[in-house]
Amino acid sequence: MPDTFYVRTNDRKHYVEAKFLTDLQGNPIVSRNPVQNTWNLFDADHNPIGTNTNGYVIVPADFDIKKAIDFGRSISELMEAGYPVTVPGALIGALASFEKIVSAGNGRA
């Protein structure tokens, strides 16, 4: 299987380049959600190449786990700072930014 592949969005009209999420050793991470097993995978020409029968977590091709972890740490730091007035606004903005990054493949971005 190539490093990246394509998945079809919920509208079944668009395709997004994707990859399997891996741990630090390069092992694919298995999802507990059985829906992952049903995702069809496509090549760059949108021809079917298989199904995610192993249930690996699929993320956008440009997803960077280090950036996601750093983002989580920044949220934690905001919460620990104890700024009750500014934290909610900053948190909402940060979560909106993160949601846009993660959901790029579902047709909403």
> Cβ contacts of residue 48 below 8 Å, gap of 6+?
40, 41, 42
Burial class (CB in 10 A: 0-12, 13-18, 19+), 105: buried
Residues 50-105 have pLDDT tens digits of: 999 999 999 999 988 888 888 888 777 766 666 554 555 556 666 666 665 555 54
User: What integer pLDDT is reported at residue 51 of this predicted model?
Assistant: 95
User: What integer pLDDT is reported at residue 98 of this predicted model?
Assistant: 60
Beta bridge mates, 51: 40
Q: Which amino acid is at 12?
A: R
Contact 59, 23 (CB under 8 A): no
Pairing of strands 15-20, 58-60: antiparallel
Residues 2-40 have pLDDT tens digits of: 689 999 988 889 999 999 999 888 899 999 999 889 999
